[in-house]
């Protein structure tokens, strides 16, 4: 990386001569070292999945979740530094509550993504703060609003997606997502596919054990963000393991 050691990476408010902000790039590296997070927007809902790497076998299962709710109709999955992701989720909750207080209705997906993007971007402007070392995937859906999926990067840039992935397995995940017919897929089919992709991304040799987090928003959940029921999750994991076993036999 050019310009390292010349002082251009000491402050987030300093550009290098070639127009780069190194601390934002370092924040992206923190995200790339994290477990994979994936979002799929299908015809009747949105599904989120996270490969939460287990740092210690002593941890209680379900602790420090990487998928959280910001409002009844908003699910957020984060990759990168866990505490940074939690901070952004808390900001999303404040924004969603403020919108409800003023307008007496759920905040639209585009609006919450825009406000969070601006908030994250503000942390790339001042030398007294550092960028957030997290990328978040925002999923929303209401009875009146179509499913929406946005990903916000550490720079504050956000895009709307049909399917997206962040984390160490993002390249493999994006390749698999591009093969899917998302426009004609149901949420139940998406649960199986997103689980298979997480297991495909996971490297059993290099990576630690992981806990799969899986959530969705659809008519079946009455347009509320909820974790996928255990029986559906268990079945999806079984199919994913069978699929990976078949692939290994073919190799």
Q: What DSSP string runs through 39-97?
A: EEEETTEEEEEEEEE-S-TTSPTT-S-SEEEEETTEEEEEEE-HHHHHHHHHHHHHHHH
N-to-C CA span, the chain: 37
Per-residue pLDDT tens digits for 15-66: 999 999 999 999 999 999 999 999 999 999 999 999 999 888 888 988 889 9
Q: Count H helices, E strands: the chain?
A: 6, 10
Helix, strand and coil in the chain, % to nearest 5: 40, 25, 40
Report pLDDT for 1: 47
Please tell me the total count of domains within the chain: 1
Distance CA 40, CA 34 (A): 19
Residue at 232 is within a domain = yes
Residue at 76 is within a domain = yes
Question: What is the model's pTM?
Answer: 0.93
Residue at 164 is within a domain = yes
Report pLDDT for 251: 57
State which residues form the domain around 96: 22-56+63-250
Residue at 238 is within a domain = yes
Written as six digits, the tokens of 88 are 């952004």
Q: What is the dihedral of CA 197, 215, 30, 70, to 10 degrees?
A: 160
**Residue 191 maps to which CATH number?**
3.60.20.10
Share of the chain above pLDDT 90, in %: 82
Per-residue pLDDT tens digits for 78-131: 999 999 999 999 999 999 999 999 999 999 999 999 999 999 999 999 999 999
Residue at 155 is within a domain = yes
């Amino acid at each position: 990386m050019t310009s390292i050691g010349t002082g251009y990476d000491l402050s987030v408010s300093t550009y290098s001569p070639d127009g780069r902000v190194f601390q934002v790039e370092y924040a992206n590296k923190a995200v790339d070292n994290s477990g994979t997070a994936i979002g799929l927007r299908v015809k009747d809902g949105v599904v989120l999945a996270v490969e939460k790497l287990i740092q210690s076998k002593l941890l209680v299962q379900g602790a420090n979740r990487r998928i959280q709710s910001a409002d009844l109709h908003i699910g957020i999955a984060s990759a990168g530094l866990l505490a940074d992701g939690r901070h952004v989720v808390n900001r999303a909750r404040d924004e969603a509550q403020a919108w409800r207080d003023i307008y007496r209705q759920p905040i639209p997906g585009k609006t919450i993504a825009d406000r969070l993007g601006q908030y994250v971007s503000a942390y790339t402007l001042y030398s007294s703060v550092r960028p957030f070392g997290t990328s978040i995937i925002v999923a929303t859906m209401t009875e009146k609003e179509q499913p929406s999926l946005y990903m916000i990067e550490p720079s504050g840039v956000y895009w709307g997606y049909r399917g997206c992935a962040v984390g160490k397995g993002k390249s493999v995940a994006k390749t698999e997502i591009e093969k899917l017919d998302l426009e004609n897929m149901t949420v139940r089919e998406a649960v199986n596919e997103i689980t298979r992709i997480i297991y495909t991304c996971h490297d059993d040799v290099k990576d630690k054990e992981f806990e799969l987090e899986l959530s969705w928003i659809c008519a079946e959940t009455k347009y509320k963000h909820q974790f996928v029921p255990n029986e559906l999750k268990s079945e999806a994991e079984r199919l994913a393991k069978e699929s990976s076993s078949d692939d290994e036999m073919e190799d």
